[in-house]
Structure 1
Amino acid sequence: MVKKPLKIVTIGGGSSYTPELIEGFIKRFDSLPAGEIWLVDIPAGEEKLQIVGSLAQRMVEKAGHPIHIHLTTNRREALKDADFVTTQFRVGLLDARAKDERIPLKYGVIGQETNGPGGLLKGLRTIPVILDIIKDMEELCPDAWLINFTNPAGMVTEAVLRHSSWKKVVGLCNVPVGMKMGIAKLLDVSPEKVFIDFAGLNHMVFGLDVYVDGTSVLKEVIEKLADPDKSLTMKNIADLGWEPEFIRALGFLPCPYHRYYYQTEKMLEEEKKAAEENGTRAEVVKALEKELFELYKDPELGEKPKQLEKRGGAYYSDAACSLINSIYNDSRDIQPVNTKNNGAIASIPFDSAVEINCVITKEGPKPIAIGDLPVPVRGLVQQIKSFERIAAEAAVSKDYHKALLAMTINPLVPSDTKAKEILDEMLDAHGLTDFLKPHQKEDMIKK
């Protein structure tokens, strides 16, 4: 039976990550017939959209597949009758990320795009946009799946589940895939042989067990991670080894982002040093993207360039395209995604978003129950879930006090006084005047 060509829409199509995604669709064309791929961006990103779009067209032409690439700044035009919608945008672009990273450092607090104050402010900017996209989808493509890669992915998924009626949403992250690949390299085995029991939240996920060919090798992996020269990390996170006795005591596989919580002082010093010497990660990425887009302009380039790996998007296409492929084909394989808990993790509310292994079906992800999280990790995960829920409420209600509460309960922010100072400066820096307290709005009107 000939399968109907799919219409796939990518919002944030001018991203430097897009060639990863296009490569993923090309590789899976036989099982995932992408007939149309619409790359959407805002007018301010149109130049990058044209550059990336031209590369995407060359890539599909080189592959010889009948995939039609469309470029537009008209989101509604793109969404009409879409089958899958992927989101990978950044509200405020990299300049906003730089503020999220630099401002907290002034107060001796971690500055990072998805953790701590930076994660909160990114959520406050992003969630209203995602909910606006959903309003368009309800009208224009009510049967489509929303595959969200936009950070903070867990908080965004939480907001969609709680503050919209949209059910067909899956949050996605390349961290679990990166962890699996890293473990395979650590053990010198093929990645296909490795299976990890993932459970937790986005950027707060743990590997509760690790298997090779069905046999648990968790203790062996923990011992390898106890060697300071053998760690798992990402391009955007300092490669600090774990304290051997701590990682043995923990007994589970942490994700790279756990360094912000378990090695806060060291990570803060690394961030300060990096910001002084080379700039924040946003500023480094800005320079890297300039190089990438110069490469993308080359009319002879017809494939994803090797340099894209430095951007931090490794395995992005594998995560996104594997998920879409499995939903479309009702594959019923197991993948870690962000979805509604539905009781899979007893320690987290039933209707909250969690990152967990799921069986992927045409009806969406079916989370695999693990019961309670182990006591050593349960409290931290619950605290971050409280932060995500209150932050999502703040983003939807534009309530300053909820935003302050979210900032204060985040474990990376050391006091309520400092939380208020950081929040006030960051809201001002991003021009989020809707969150100003009543007397502040009155002062602005008078001015």
Structure 2
Amino acid sequence: MSFKIAIIGAGSVGFTKKLFTDILCVPEFKDIEFALTDLSEHNLQMIKAILDKIVESNKLPTKVTATTNRREAIAGARYIISCVRVGGLEAYADDIRIPLKYGIDQCVGDTICAGGILYGQRNIPVILDFCKDIRELAEPGAKFLNYANPMAMNTWAAIEYGKVDTVGLCHGVQHGAEQIAEVLGAKSQSELDYICSGINHQTWFIDLKLNGRKIGKEELVAAFEAHPVFSQQEKLRIDVLKRFGVYSTESNGHLSEYLPWYRKRPDEITKWIDMSDWIHGETGGYLRHSTETRNWFETEFPQFLASAEKPIDPAKRSNEHASHILEALETGRVYRGHFNVKNNGVITNLPSDAIIESPGFVDRFGINMVSGITIPEACAATCMASINVQRMSVHAAISGDIDLLKLAVLHDPLVGAVSTPEEVWQMVDEMVVAQARWLPQYADAVPAAKERLANSKVKTKEWAGAARRNVRSIEELRAEKAALKQAV
């Protein structure tokens, strides 16, 4: 087989390498072309060097190109994969820093909440540019695979306004299933069967079977509470399981910021999170992790390049959906996964226009969703709160309506639990002004926002958050990795 895959945001080096090696685990794909594109020439050359080394070491005919010209990369592509972060870590730092001034403490801030909504405002105009290029230049019928957050908003915009065949992909379901298999004592992941449904980052394990035996709430609660690690790291997630009756796919830290109950007071935050790793609820945890990862890669690039000499091992193919979807579409070997698509009745008690995450099967005929699923009422209510925010956020990003943007932020569950309307109005003004260079649709609104900020009487505070850790130096990271290696 010979076709072209374009990867936008390929400078996300670790993730691009994973996608690349996963896809090349499919024997029929050795002759394909990967076209890498990114705004950073520096990052592009680093990832190209790594991928070239993999191709050379494995004696493959695979072609790898790299260009900062996105249209050149997309031209003739059958599949386009996006893993972009518009604004990079600079804009992301504002997504965390500015809401903290108004008492809003986020762990990740890339899905909803104040940070996720502004992240969507930066991404959506760019996503629509990608879609325009795909319509004009890609192979007819090309498929757009979006890995970038905010997943639901980006996918919503691409489908509704970009008019491109789009699927959103995330690994939260797989990671949640790995935890459940572990606490239930499964010998392998294959022993666990499950149906997961909802919206991205709020997907729910509504049916579980271990070796064909149905697993109920009480057994699952007991298994998690008995686990020596998860009982501490997933306290909030276990509490939601007890109250809702089903387990959420999303990590303790992620889940905490989609709900109005656990992060609205500093003393409550520290009660529900765990500081052993960023993903369990630390203030700005993913920002710190992303910063450290970038710094580590820049410093340790020779080590990453040397590791690329190892042969590709199909047994180590990851559970990221992309390679499995491409394999199913191209070879007809059926793949079952959980995909982000427009609802259109797939989940009976969520809106038709929403982007849902639910089971589907892939073959040569495309992605075929399992329809007629009804999720528990409490899960639907929680999803609906986010869907309403997502819908307003997408419409605001398309129209450049700053008042609608403020209403979207106001209706966010955590923001509404913490901030007054006056605080929300000022916070959004401040974020739009700070990020104006990435928000072209709000250019006309920026002068008035600056004037309002100059005359505002709303008080803010300089606050690092309830549970902030400093970014570790390269030396600290080396020492920690050495200690872990020695312990093993």
Structure 1-normalised TM-score?
0.86
1:93-119 C-alpha deviation (Å, 9 max, x unpaired) = 111111111221221113322230111
Q: Which residue of 2 aligns with 1:98?
A: 93
1:164-198 C-alpha deviation (Å, 9 max, x unpaired) = 322x1100001111112222222232112222211
1:112-169 C-alpha deviation (Å, 9 max, x unpaired) = 2223011100100001101111101101113211000010111111112222322x11
Q: Which residue of 2 aligns with 1:148?
A: 146
Alignment of 1:6-155 (within 5 A): 6-16=3-13, 17-28=15-26, 30-33=27-30, 35-42=32-39, 45-111=40-106, 112-141=109-138, 142-155=140-153
Equivalent residue in structure 1 for 2:242, among 248, 251, 270: 248
Asked if 1 retains the 8 angstrom alpha-carbon contact of 2:92 and 2:287, the reply is: yes
Equivalent residue in structure 1 for 2:350, among 348, 353, 368: 348
Structure 1 residues 267 and 286: CA distance shift in structure 2, 3 A = farther
1:231-277 C-alpha deviation (Å, 9 max, x unpaired) = 39xxxxx93414866532321011223232253246755899999x9
Structure 1 residues 54 and 246: CA distance shift in structure 2, 3 A = closer
Equivalent residue in structure 2 for 1:163, among 161, 164, 168: 161
Once the 2 structures are TM-superposed, how far is the Cα of residue 211 of structure 1 from its aligned partner?
1.8
Asked if 2 retains the 8 angstrom alpha-carbon contact of 1:149 and 1:172, the reply is: yes
Equivalent residue in structure 2 for 1:435, among 436, 439, 442: 442
Once the 2 structures are TM-superposed, how far is the Cα of residue 325 of structure 1 from its aligned partner?
1.9
Structure 1 residues 286 and 87: CA distance shift in structure 2, 3 A = same
CA distance in 2: counterparts of 1:127 and 1:228, whole angstroms: 41
CA distance in 1: counterparts of 2:245 and 2:206, whole angstroms: 8
CA distance in 2: counterparts of 1:110 and 1:170, whole angstroms: 31
Kindly provide the amino acid, as one letter, of the partner of residue 149 in structure 1: Y
Kindly provide the amino acid, as one letter, of the partner of residue 425 in structure 1: E
Equivalent residue in structure 2 for 1:283, among 280, 285, 288: 288
CA distance in 2: counterparts of 1:214 and 1:272, whole angstroms: 34
SS in structure 1 of the partner of residue 33 of structure 2: strand
Which of 74-83 and 414-423 deviates more? 414-423
Asked if 1 retains the 8 angstrom alpha-carbon contact of 2:113 and 2:413, the reply is: yes
Equivalent residue in structure 2 for 1:301, among 291, 299, 307: 307
CA distance in 2: counterparts of 1:99 and 1:422, whole angstroms: 11
Once the 2 structures are TM-superposed, how far is the Cα of residue 68 of structure 1 from its aligned partner?
1.0
CA distance in 2: counterparts of 1:402 and 1:131, whole angstroms: 20
1:290-326 C-alpha deviation (Å, 9 max, x unpaired) = 2123333345331689xxxxxxxx9976322122222
Once the 2 structures are TM-superposed, how far is the Cα of residue 433 of structure 1 from its aligned partner?
6.3
Kindly provide the amino acid, as one letter, of the partner of residue 298 in structure 2: F
Asked if 1 retains the 8 angstrom alpha-carbon contact of 2:183 and 2:227, the reply is: no
Q: Which residue of 2 aligns with 1:213?
A: 211
CA distance in 1: counterparts of 2:239 and 2:291, whole angstroms: 38
Structure 1 residues 361 and 401: CA distance shift in structure 2, 3 A = farther
Asked if 1 retains the 8 angstrom alpha-carbon contact of 2:169 and 2:339, the reply is: yes
Asked if 1 retains the 8 angstrom alpha-carbon contact of 2:233 and 2:274, the reply is: no
Once the 2 structures are TM-superposed, how far is the Cα of residue 329 of structure 1 from its aligned partner?
2.6
Report the count of equivalent residues: 424
1:385-439 C-alpha deviation (Å, 9 max, x unpaired) = 1111110111111111111111011101123223212211111111136436759
CA distance in 2: counterparts of 1:197 and 1:85, whole angstroms: 28
Asked if 2 retains the 8 angstrom alpha-carbon contact of 1:226 and 1:248, the reply is: no
Kindly provide the amino acid, as one letter, of the partner of residue 195 in structure 1: D
Kindly provide the amino acid, as one letter, of the partner of residue 213 in structure 1: N
Kindly provide the amino acid, as one letter, of the partner of residue 108 in structure 1: G
1:179-221 C-alpha deviation (Å, 9 max, x unpaired) = 1222222223211222221111111111111222333224332
Q: Which runs of 5+ in 1 are unaligned?
A: 233-237, 306-313
Asked if 1 retains the 8 angstrom alpha-carbon contact of 2:105 and 2:283, the reply is: no
Structure 2-normalised TM-score?
0.79
Residue 419 of structure 2 is aligned to residue 418 of structure 1: no
SS in structure 1 of the partner of residue 415 of structure 2: coil
* CA RMSD after TM alignment: 3.0
Residue 238 of structure 2 is aligned to residue 222 of structure 1: no
CA distance in 2: counterparts of 1:15 and 1:244, whole angstroms: 32
CA distance in 2: counterparts of 1:173 and 1:321, whole angstroms: 13
Structure 1 residues 245 and 286: CA distance shift in structure 2, 3 A = closer
Residue 404 of structure 2 is aligned to residue 407 of structure 1: no
Asked if 1 retains the 8 angstrom alpha-carbon contact of 2:120 and 2:153, the reply is: yes
Once the 2 structures are TM-superposed, how far is the Cα of residue 280 of structure 1 from its aligned partner?
4.9
SS in structure 2 of the partner of residue 76 of structure 1: helix
Structure 1 residues 363 and 423: CA distance shift in structure 2, 3 A = farther
